[in-house]
């Protein structure tokens, strides 16, 4: 992709990674992009770099605009490898440039690179760097989503360069929100936003709300948000801000997701009457088999639903390993504002359903009843119990959901 002007003299010089499907274990079915930006002002300024595999392409994008040795400032908004791993290549081309970074960012950068010969200035919230016609305002955003994270606001352009925040893992030839016009493409984009939020930002809802409030209090006018992944919000930046506020407030659809795995199909058979019971109470339901789907997909579906039922056969007196893996991942994401239950088959002692309820209690997630367990294979009576539990669960989900309306 060539450099693309996003504002007068401000260019996207990033790359599109159409092929990536495993982003440090997080499955990215739509690929991603590594966005970085070059401002051609009196002092030429680069914002972030790209994943090292694509360094050459990003450098070529810069060379299409300017000799890289003319870059005077490099703002590192975030030091995760997908954004900083090309910094060595850039510094090789412009060794006298000055890096602007947070204190925690500097500490991390020192671990990844030999920075002893680099000019580095530590910045904090409120610091302003004049680069000619523009003033860059730095805004620290610690734990959104790393300790080093910050954003940069360019007052004269009303542009917020937001690093990971407001991004999506979404490879696309389109670079702007207004290029998503068909209902299909809008739905796909919104799904990518929720996927990203669920898997990366779910633990930080309160921080997100506070940071957005802080930015609003500063009275910054924003007419474009340029994140480090995915599309740039130039038509309606309020859309992504409002989506983040809604997600941080726990808003989601009145919906149930059943996430399960199975050994000899008994637990799987239980999903049929459960689904019917939920549906008969007027609640939409989606069924996700773990071994058929990546764990990050299951987390996205968990996030998109108000209620979650986990189905697991008992193996060695506890839950099936794929469910254990899912729940450990989920616990780390500190889910809130959801309601859950469990079901599963067993052969002799049982234990999976009990342990799943325990896991949800540790997470602080409200649960419904004691779940449903069946011996070996669901009988007609067991299927009726599953159906009834599905209806009971759906009704509890509806009552719980009404608190958010
Ligand atoms: Fe896109 Fe936290 O790196």
Nearest atom in ligand 1 to the alpha carbon of residue 228 is: 1
Closest CA to 349 of 379, 380, 315: 315
pLDDT band at 207 (very low <50, low <70, confident <90, very high): very high
The pLDDT of 221-237, averaged and rounded, is: 97
User: What pLDDT shows up at residue 184?
Assistant: 85
Strands 224-227 and 159-163: parallel
Whether pLDDT at 212 is above 90: yes
Helix/strand/coil for 17 = strand
How many Å lie between the centroid of ligand 1 and the Cα of residue 200? Answer: 9
- How many percent of the chain have pLDDT more than 70? 100
Residue 381 has pLDDT above 80, yes or no: yes
CA 76–ligand 1 middle distance (angstroms): 12
Give the nearest ligand 1 atom to 146 CA: 2
What mean pLDDT value characterizes the chain?
96
Confidence of residue 214 (pLDDT cuts 50, 70, 90): very high
% of the chain beyond a pLDDT of 90: 96
Q: So what's the pLDDT on residue 181? A: 85
The rounded Å distance from CA 49 to ligand 1 centre is: 11
With 70 as the cut, is the pLDDT of residue 52 above it? yes
Please tell me the predicted confidence (pLDDT) of residue 182.
Answer: 87
Cα 146 to ligand 1 centre (Å): 8
Give the active site residues: 24, 78, 80, 82, 145, 164, 196, 229
Ligand 1: nearest atom to the Cα of 149: 2
> Residue 306: which of 240, 234, 364, 255 has the closest Cα?
255
Compare 404 and 357 and report the one with higher pLDDT.
357
| DSSP, res 76 | -
Cα–ligand 1 centroid distance for 183 (angstroms):
28
Q: What mean pLDDT comes out for the span 61-77?
A: 97
- Other Cβ atoms closer than 10 A to 359: 22
State the closest ligand 1 atom to the C-alpha of 145, by its place in the atom list counted from 1. 2
1 has a pLDDT exceeding 80: no
Other CB atoms within a 10 A radius of the CB of residue 142 amount to 16
**Residue 125, burial from CB neighbour count under 10 angstroms (0-12, 13-18, 19+):** middle
Start-to-end CA distance of the chain, whole Å, equals 43
**Ligand 1 neighbours (beta carbon < 6 A):** 78, 80, 82-83, 145-146, 164, 228-229
Place of tokens 């917020």: 160
The predicted-structure confidence for 384-398, as pLDDT tens digits, reads as follows: 999 999 999 999 999
Q: Which of 234, 228, 222, 218 is nearest to 159 (CA)?
A: 222
Place of tokens 């590192």: 76
Q: Cα 318 to the chain's mean position, in Å?
A: 30
Distance from the alpha carbon of residue 201 to the mean position of ligand 1, in angstroms: 11
- Number of other CB atoms surrounding residue 387 within 10 Å: 20
pLDDT at 317: 96
- pLDDT single digits (tens) 167-203: 999 999 999 999 998 888 999 999 999 999 999 999 9
User: Cα–Cα–Cα angle for 184, 189, 192, nearest 5°?
Assistant: 130
Residue nearest to ligand 1 atom 2, measured at CA:
80
Instruction: Report the DSSP beta bridge partners of residue 100.
Output: 75, 121
pLDDT of residue 3: 79
pLDDT in tens, 232-271: 999 999 999 999 999 999 899 999 999 999 999 999 999 9
pLDDT at 56 over 80: yes
Q: Is the pLDDT of residue 2 over 80?
A: no
DSSP string, 284-324: EEEEEEGGGS-HHHHHHHHHHEEEEEEE--EETTEE-HHHH
The candidate with the shortest Cα–Cα distance to 265, out of 371, 349, 378, is: 378
Q: What's the pLDDT tens digit per position in 243-252?
A: 999 999 989 9
Q: How far apart are CA 52 and CA 318, in angstroms?
A: 43
Residue 10, helix vs strand vs coil: strand
Q: What sign for the dihedral angle of Cα 14, 17, 22, 26?
A: positive
Ligand 1, atom 3: closest residue by C-alpha: 80
* Shortest-distance atom of ligand 1 to CA 164: 1
Average pLDDT estimate for 347-362: 97
pLDDT (average), residues 280-296: 97
36 alpha carbon – ligand 1 mean position (Å) = 12
User: Does the pLDDT at position 140 exceed 80?
Assistant: yes
* pLDDT of 133 above 70: yes
Res. 219: pLDDT tops 90: yes
Cα 81 to middle of ligand 1, angstroms:
7
Q: Would you say the C-alpha torsion 85, 27, 338, 291 has a positive or negative sign?
A: negative
What does the pLDDT read at residue 362?
96
Residue nearest to atom 1 of ligand 1 (CA): 164
Closest-lying ligand 1 atom to the alpha carbon of residue 163: 1
């Amino acid at each position: 992709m060539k450099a693309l002007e996003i504002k007068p003299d401000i260019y996207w010089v990033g790359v599109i990674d159409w092929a990536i499907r495993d982003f440090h274990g997080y499955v990215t079915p739509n690929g991603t992009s590594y966005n970085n930006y070059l401002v051609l002002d009196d002092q030429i300024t680069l914002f972030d770099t790209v994943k090292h595999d694509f360094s050459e392409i990003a450098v070529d994008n810069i060379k299409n605009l300017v000799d890289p040795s003319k870059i005077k400032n490099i703002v590192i908004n975030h030091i995760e490898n997908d954004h900083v791993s090309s910094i060595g290549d850039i510094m090789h081309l412009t060794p006298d440039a000055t890096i602007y970074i947070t204190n925690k960012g500097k500490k991390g950068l020192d671990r990844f690179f030999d920075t002893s010969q680099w000019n580095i200035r530590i910045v904090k919230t409120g610091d302003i760097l004049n680069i000619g016609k523009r003033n860059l305002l730095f805004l620290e955003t610690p734990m959104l989503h790393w300790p080093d994270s910050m954003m940069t606001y360019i007052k004269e352009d009303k542009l917020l360069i937001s690093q990971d925040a407001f991004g999506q893992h979404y490879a696309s030839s389109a670079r702007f929100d207004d290029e998503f016009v068909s209902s299909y493409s809008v739905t796909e984009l919104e799904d990518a936003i929720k996927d990203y939020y669920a898997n990366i930002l779910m633990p930080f809802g309160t921080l997100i709300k506070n940071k957005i409030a802080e930015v609003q209090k500063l009275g910054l006018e924003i007419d474009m948000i340029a994140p480090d992944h995915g599309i740039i919000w130039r038509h309606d930046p309020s859309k992504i801000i409002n989506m983040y506020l809604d997600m941080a407030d726990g808003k989601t659809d009145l919906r149930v997701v059943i996430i399960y795995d199975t050994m000899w199909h008994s637990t799987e058979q239980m999903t049929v009457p459960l689904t019917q019971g939920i549906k008969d109470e007027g609640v939409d339901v989606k069924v996700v088999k773990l071994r058929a789907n990546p764990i990050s997909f299951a987390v996205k579906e968990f996030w998109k639903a108000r209620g979650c039922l986990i189905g697991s056969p008992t193996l060695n007196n506890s839950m099936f390993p794929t469910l254990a893996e899912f729940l450990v991942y989920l616990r780390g994401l500190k889910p809130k504002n959801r309601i859950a239950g469990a079901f599963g088959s067993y052969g002799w002692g049982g234990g999976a359903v009990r342990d799943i309820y325990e896991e949800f209690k540790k997470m602080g997630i409200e649960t419904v009843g004691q779940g449903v367990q069946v011996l070996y294979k669901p009988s007609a009576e067991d299927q009726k119990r599953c159906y009834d539990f599905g209806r009971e669960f759906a009704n509890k989900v509806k009552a719980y959901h009404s608190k958010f309306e």
